């Protein structure tokens, strides 16, 4: 008896498989295995197609999402916080005075009247370019010992900052340093510094004038100074990451009677 494979109802003797006829149960098993293999390969092809479509869709989704988010990142980077610029700020002494000055002793309350014309700087000026500046600045004013004058024994006076921008300086802000030697102790002229934090506000393309007043620093043991004494003055301003420097000098002629 012969039957078509798809309509097998009895497991006896010969059965016709796809493309041929088998005459035993072994033939039936071979036919079933063949059909199952064909079905398995068809299912694999279908699953592969689904995976390919899914991956393609996933990549398009990721790329589309990245393209959507990129302008947001660019916008965030392109909007830095505004900061004041001090790149065009400059500093210089712009005025001085030559007169018979009355100078205050920094370490006391007395005034000394000069007997000859003394020249001192009186105005420090910030000059700004485009862009307003509002910053706290660290200001240091240094007055050096006069060059070319030797006083091996005894002490003379030097100069220090008495007031800056209308505000009197304090002893804690100032230093006065003499040279020292064994047996002799302190001698010569002192060097001085004054340091303080100062608010600085300069309009765009504007200027800021800061008056500076000098006084006498140290003590005198009555030594005679018979040469013109020139004290170098250096102002250093640290502001907004920059360091600005201005220089001038204080000139004291022979016979001034204040050193």
- Whether residue 73 is found in the same domain as residue 136: no
Angle at 64 between CA 59 and CA 70, to 5 degrees: 125
- Whether residue 52 is found in the same domain as residue 95: no
The domain boundary residue, chosen from 77, 99, 118? 77
- Whether residue 116 is found in the same domain as residue 15: no
- Whether residue 231 is found in the same domain as residue 136: yes
- Whether residue 11 is found in the same domain as residue 134: no
**Tokens, residue 171:** 């002893």
The domain boundary residue, chosen from 77, 100, 116? 77
Residue 22 inside a domain? The answer is yes
Question: Tell me: the pLDDT tens digits for 52-64?
Answer: 444 444 444 444 4
- Whether residue 51 is found in the same domain as residue 108: no
- Whether residue 239 is found in the same domain as residue 171: yes
- Whether residue 18 is found in the same domain as residue 121: no
Looking at residue 45, what is its pLDDT? 58
Looking at residue 36, what is its pLDDT? 56
Residue 83 inside a domain? The answer is no
Looking at residue 167, what is its pLDDT? 96
- Whether residue 48 is found in the same domain as residue 176: no
Looking at residue 41, what is its pLDDT? 55
Domain membership of residue 159 as a residue range: 90-252
Work out how many domains the chain is built from and give that number: 2
- Whether residue 11 is found in the same domain as residue 98: no
Residue 100 inside a domain? The answer is yes
d(CA 41, CA 113): 115
With beta carbons less than 8 A apart as the criterion, state whether 101 and 254 touch. no
From first CA to last CA, the distance across the chain in angstroms is 142
- Whether residue 245 is found in the same domain as residue 195: yes
Averaged pLDDT, groups of 10, the chain, 259 residues long:
40 45 50 51 52 44 45 42 72 95 87 94 97 97 96 96 97 97 95 98 97 96 92 98 98 94
Residue 12 inside a domain? The answer is yes
- Whether residue 130 is found in the same domain as residue 211: yes
Looking at residue 40, what is its pLDDT? 47
Residue 195 inside a domain? The answer is yes
Residue 61 inside a domain? The answer is yes
d(CA 152, CA 150): 6
Looking at residue 117, what is its pLDDT? 94
Which candidate, 225, 96, 207, 61, places its Cα nearest to that of 158?
225
């Amino acid at each position: 008896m012969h039957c078509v494979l798809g309509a097998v109802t009895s497991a006896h003797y010969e059965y016709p498989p796809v493309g041929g006829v088998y005459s035993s149960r072994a033939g039936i098993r071979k036919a079933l295995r063949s059909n199952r293999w064909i079905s398995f390969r068809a299912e694999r092809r279908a699953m592969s197609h689904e995976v390919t479509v899914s991956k393609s869709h996933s990549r398009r989704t990721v790329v589309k999402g990245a393209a959507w988010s990129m302008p947001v990142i660019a916008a965030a980077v392109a909007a830095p916080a505004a900061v004041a610029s001090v790149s065009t700020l400059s500093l210089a002494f712009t005025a001085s005075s030559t007169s018979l000055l009355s100078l205050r002793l920094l370490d006391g309350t007395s005034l000394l009247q000069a007997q000859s014309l003394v020249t001192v700087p009186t105005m420090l000026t910030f000059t700004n370019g485009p862009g307003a500046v509002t910053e706290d600045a660290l200001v240091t004013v240094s007055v050096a010992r006069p060059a070319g004058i030797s006083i091996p024994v005894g002490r003379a006076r030097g100069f220090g900052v008495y007031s800056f921008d209308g505000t009197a300086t304090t002893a804690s802000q100032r230093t006065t340093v003499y040279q020292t030697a064994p047996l002799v102790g302190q001698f010569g002229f002192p060097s001085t510094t004054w340091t303080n934090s100062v608010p600085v506000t300069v309009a765009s393309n504007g200027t800021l004038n800061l008056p500076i007043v000098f006084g006498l620093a140290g003590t005198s043991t009555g030594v005679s100074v018979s040469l013109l004494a020139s004290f170098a003055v250096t102002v250093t301003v640290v502001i907004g990451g920059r360091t600005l420097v201005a220089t001038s000098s204080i000139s004291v002629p022979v016979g001034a009677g204040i050193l």
